Amino acid sequence: MTQDWKTRTKLVHTGARRSQYGEMSEAIFLTQGFVYETAEQAEARFVQPGPDEFIYARYGNPTVAMLEDRIAAIEGTEDAFATASGMAAVNGALVSMLRAGDHVVSARALFGSCLYILEEILGRFGVEITLVDGTDLDQWRAAMRPNTKAVFFESVSNPTLEVIDIRAVADIAHAAGAVVVVDNVFATPIYSRAVELGADVIVYSTTKHVDGQGRCLGGVICGKKEYIRKTVETYMKHTGGSMSPFNAWVMLKGLETLDLRVRAQATSAQAIAEALEGDPRLSRVLHPFLDSHPQQALAKAQMEAGGTVISIDLKGGKEAAFRFLNALEIFKITNNLGDAKSLVTHPATTTHQRLPEDQKVTLGITPGLIRISIGLEDTDDLIADLKQALDAI
């Protein structure tokens, strides 16, 4: 029955567990431990917990389990494990399955912290990494080796919004026996078709669209039951990266409105990208669904909408970018995204500041580049704010 529900119904109901009080809203089980009625019950639970039997919040918790079930249901995976942040999810997804001597191929266009996990942490423990241009399938093919255990990429890259062909990369990876791990934040769980396209493991920072109101950190790893419960859960429960019950509750409430919010934000983002395109003060307007995007056809085949983020490149470089940012009235300068509030980020001096200059050039992170996360405000108000700030430079 629940299998047949559409996303919006699942977002409101799937995974709900009610206590003996029959509470309407999902309860926050703010408890780290669970009481056993007898010593025998404690012993049995440590041997093998039954369904909905909990031991310790680092291992699992009823509120967290509701969130895991709900996210797995909308993503279309057998199971999910909720983590303390998006980075705990990326780290857990990869480190839990890799060992010294393994090889990982990853797209180069990555969030700084993901690069740190791949190159610094995994490298330190004897895992070899090859970085490729994620949009170049020949580079993926050439990078595969007999010991390639996993491939990793952001399906839509931050901040230049390149689209990676999930199906094509998954085919290459699977032919080499490698697991496909996708960081799917920019696609959002609403527009994700990652499972259908061949991804094995899908990671989200729920800090972004799932909370969507700028309150809590969180992450989730989605995949097959065997991988989630045997590989990921074992690693996470012993290393301490599980999500707190309170944050899981905030995320559950976020999921109830996720579809409405993401669709409204994505519709607005596309209208704003179209309104900005051709402005003489901009050298580039980046959005996966714009006619000018080199991968528009792939984006349309892979996602139902272009997402909630656009990036623009100001011809006047850093100076113009800073004047533009400082002149905005509705948009807030910050480094989050996917929020109800519209947000702007200057990647070259903040999120990607530490990248060497040549890497910034390779990744298209120019001094004039600004990432814009479109929120829930009125689209015309947002366009007017962007236009007046462009006038101010």
Q: Which stretch binds ligand PLP (CB under 6 A): 69-77, 85-93, 96-104, 230-238?
A: 85-93
351 binds ligand PLP (CB under 6 A): no
179 binds ligand PLP (CB under 6 A): no
183 binds ligand PLP (CB under 6 A): yes
26 binds ligand PLP (CB under 6 A): no
Angle between helices 62-75 and 245-276 (to 10 degrees): 30
Binds ligand PLP by CB under 6 A, chosen from 15, 86, 223, 307 = 86
Distance CA 39, CA 37 (A): 7
For residue 111, give the nearest of 372, 366, 365 by alpha carbon: 365
Q: Which stretch binds ligand PLP (CB under 6 A): 19-27, 63-71, 136-144, 202-210?
A: 202-210
65 binds ligand PLP (CB under 6 A): no
Output DSSP code: residue 49: -
Count of chain residues binding ligand PLP (CB under 6 A)? 14
207 binds ligand PLP (CB under 6 A): yes
CB of 323 to ligand PLP, least distance (A): 26
Angle between helices 379-392 and 245-276 (to 10 degrees): 60
Binds ligand PLP by CB under 6 A, chosen from 155, 205, 265, 379 = 205
Considering only residues 110 to 129 of the shown chain, the ones binding ligand PLP according to CB under 6 A are 111
Strand positions, DSSP E, 134-239: 148-154, 179-183, 201-205, 219-223
217 binds ligand PLP (CB under 6 A): yes
Binds ligand PLP by CB under 6 A, chosen from 77, 158, 302, 342 = 158
Distance CA 369, CA 161 (A): 12
Distance CA 57, CA 144 (A): 39
288 binds ligand PLP (CB under 6 A): no
**DSSP per-residue codes, 115-150:** HIIIIIIIHHTT-EEEEE-TT-HHHHHHH--TTEEE
Q: Which stretch binds ligand PLP (CB under 6 A): 12-20, 21-29, 47-55, 205-213?
A: 205-213
Instruction: Please report which helix (H) or strand (E) contains residue 341, including its range.
Output: none
204 phi and psi angles, rounded to 5 deg:
-125, 145
Nearer to ligand PLP by Cβ, of 207 and 302: the residue is: 207
Binds ligand PLP by CB under 6 A, chosen from 11, 64, 67, 87 = 87
185 binds ligand PLP (CB under 6 A): yes
Q: Which stretch binds ligand PLP (CB under 6 A): 18-26, 203-211, 316-324, 362-370?
A: 203-211
What is the distance of C-alpha 267 from the center of its chain? 19
CB of 243 to ligand PLP, least distance (A): 11
85 binds ligand PLP (CB under 6 A): yes
339 binds ligand PLP (CB under 6 A): no
Nearer to ligand PLP by Cβ, of 154 and 200: the residue is: 154
115 phi and psi angles, rounded to 5 deg:
-60, -40
Distance CA 142, CA 151 (A): 13
For residue 311, give the nearest of 340, 347, 341, 278 by alpha carbon: 347
61 binds ligand PLP (CB under 6 A): no
154 binds ligand PLP (CB under 6 A): yes
220 binds ligand PLP (CB under 6 A): no
Cβ–Cβ contacts within 10 Å for residue 377, how many? 16
Does the CA dihedral 233-239-242-246 come out positive or negative?
Answer: positive
CB of 115 to ligand PLP, least distance (A): 11
Distance CA 47, CA 80 (A): 22
Whether 282 and 312 have beta carbons less than 8 Å apart is answered as yes
Q: Which stretch binds ligand PLP (CB under 6 A): 47-55, 81-89, 352-360, 361-369?
A: 81-89
Q: Give the CB-nearest residue to ligand PLP.
A: 86
Residue numbers of the site for ligand PLP (CB under 6 A)? 85-87, 90, 111, 154, 158, 183, 185, 205, 207-208, 217, 219
